[in-house]
Homo-oligomer: A and B are copies of this chain.
Amino acid sequence: MTASIQDPIAAPEEELASLKQMLQRRLDQLIPAGGERDLVSAAMRDGALAPGKRIRPLLLILTARDLGCDDDHPGLLDLACAVEMVHAASLMLDDIPCMDDAQLRRGRPTVHRQFGEHVAILAAVALLSNAFGVVAAAEGVASDSRNDAVAELSAAVGMQGLVQGQFLDLNEGEATRNEDDIANTNELKTSMLFSATLQIAAIAAEASPMVRQRLRHVAKDLGQAFQLLDDLADGQTGTGKDIDQDLGKSTLVATLGVEAVHRRLREHLESADDHFQRACGQRGATQRFMHAWFDQQLAKFH
């Protein structure tokens, strides 16, 4: 890393833009281009380097800072990139024909449409494995803590995480589900990786077990809020994804109606705020970022 992660003089927006640039550069290094015929590397790069919101890695860096992590911590950027790689891998897998069979993602043809299904699957597996390797080698993080971070990431992906969430979403999405079932699937699909993100931030910042417990609540609320936003956005144009992908699925929008979902989303954000403030002892950069982001997204619906 050549630059410090935080430039204290920069305005928040400039700071975020600069962080995103640093993430992009580091992802580019961590997923090197292969030779001309190396489609797996090309697909990995396409999935992970395509312009994205980078919510999770930004959240990781900002939270670690809010918890007192050094601005120029040498491993923070790598930990953030690892979480983004896992996220990119999960999107690539969600999109393949035997799952959601999606055509568009981030405004571009999905990875399997460009490179073939087998390449998309192999690239997702390579991104996942890469992420674990990056975490295990993160500079400036104690060995014990790196093992802890690997365990958090492993839990977020596995049987009790993304994998199970995607399975429930596919297998039970079209059945009539009650609110609890939907919330449970949303938690597995979204909150678990948010949880790993915040836990890894706390690990890097050497936060206390009590802070880590608070952050588990934050992740739960944030994940639900994100999934509700995603449900609200489905059916809208301009999301960069297939329209009406969730048509026929039993979502909370279909069950409760748009108004109630907006209200519930706000409640989750307030609850996340509350937990976050107790974890950090102050309103920090992470909360400003999350509020600005949700305000911006919700403004699109008016």
Contact = CB atoms under 8 A, between A and B. Distances in A.
Q: Is the interface of A mostly helix, strand, loop or mixed?
A: helix
Contacts of A151: 133, 136-137
Contact of A122 (B40, B44, B166): B166
A130 B144 contact: no
Contact of A159 (B44, B119, B148): B44
Interface in A169-211: 170-171
Interface residues of A, number: 50
A121 interface: yes
A167 B125 CA distance: 12
A202 B159 CA distance: 30
Contacts of A99: 118, 121
Contacts of A133: 150-151, 154-155, 158
Contact of A129 (B34, B128, B130, B148): B128
Contact of A154 (B41, B44, B93, B136): B136
Contact of A118 (B34, B98, B118, B128): B98
Given A123-B163, A130-B158, 20 more contacts: A37-B171, A40-B159, A93-B122, A93-B125, A118-B167, A118-B170, A122-B163, A124-B125, A125-B163, A129-B153, A129-B157, A132-B153, A132-B154, A133-B150, A133-B154, A136-B147, A136-B151, A142-B143, A146-B147, A147-B150
